[in-house]
Amino acid sequence: MSAETIATIGAVSNIATTVGVVIGLIGLVFVWLQIRQGVLARETSVCLMLAQYSNSQDFTQALMTVLGRGPAGPAATIDQEAALKVCVFFELVASIVNHDYMSPTLIREFYGSVIADAHDRLRGYIDEQREQTRRPKFCINFEKLAADLAHNPLPAAGPLNASGEPPPPLP
């Protein structure tokens, strides 16, 4: 084989290696994009399921029962079934946030102070359930999320543009 042929084969080999590396990098970018899309799809799916349940008649009735009872009082004065539904739902929401299936900001925007208010009204019930069931961690995630939301509420709504004027009305 001539030196020219060997040089040509070496050049083609270098080009093939370069093309292979570039294709591999492009493949990695596409894999990353697919993983990212999967995470967004998962969060969207979880959000939709939570929204569906939290808008169901069963849950809204339980939440209205809990929120309509005023500040925390003796656990005996609360509707046990409604309290349990609200506690279990918000414990699930808090667990989903803890495991990074959903953004805490999204939960803060979606539920706002409802979680903190519900926890305040259910504090006596939760304490009583912890004692009766000997489960000191009953609704612990709900409790932590409520405390976080109470200390970090959404900012008050205000003008959205830099000039300080309210945004124009929607058409």
Task: State residue 141's pLDDT score.
Answer: 94
Q: What is the pLDDT confidence band of residue 154, given thresholds at 50, 70 and 90?
A: low
Q: What is the pLDDT confidence band of residue 45, given thresholds at 50, 70 and 90?
A: confident
What is the mean predicted confidence (pLDDT) over 53-76? 79
- Alpha carbon dihedral 93, 59, 74, 128, in 10-degree steps, equals -50
Task: State residue 99's pLDDT score.
Answer: 85
Task: State residue 132's pLDDT score.
Answer: 92
Q: Read off the tokens for 80.
A: 């046990």
Task: Tell me the pLDDT tens digit for each residue of 5-38.
Answer: 878 888 888 888 888 888 888 888 888 888 888 7
Longest Cα–Cα distance of the chain, Å, equals 97
Cα Rg of the chain (Å, integer)? 27
Task: State residue 67's pLDDT score.
Answer: 87
Alpha-carbon span 167 to 159, nearest angstrom: 6
What is the mean predicted confidence (pLDDT) over 69-80? 67
Domain residue extents for the chain: 1-42, 56-151
Alpha-carbon span 140 to 135, nearest angstrom: 10
Alpha-carbon span 66 to 62, nearest angstrom: 6
What is the mean predicted confidence (pLDDT) over 62-75? 74
Task: Tell me the pLDDT tens digit for each residue of 84-96.
Answer: 999 999 999 999 8
Task: Tell me the pLDDT tens digit for each residue of 128-153.
Answer: 999 999 999 999 999 999 998 887 76
Task: Tell me the pLDDT tens digit for each residue of 103-127.
Answer: 888 888 888 788 999 999 999 999 9
Task: State residue 151's pLDDT score.
Answer: 78
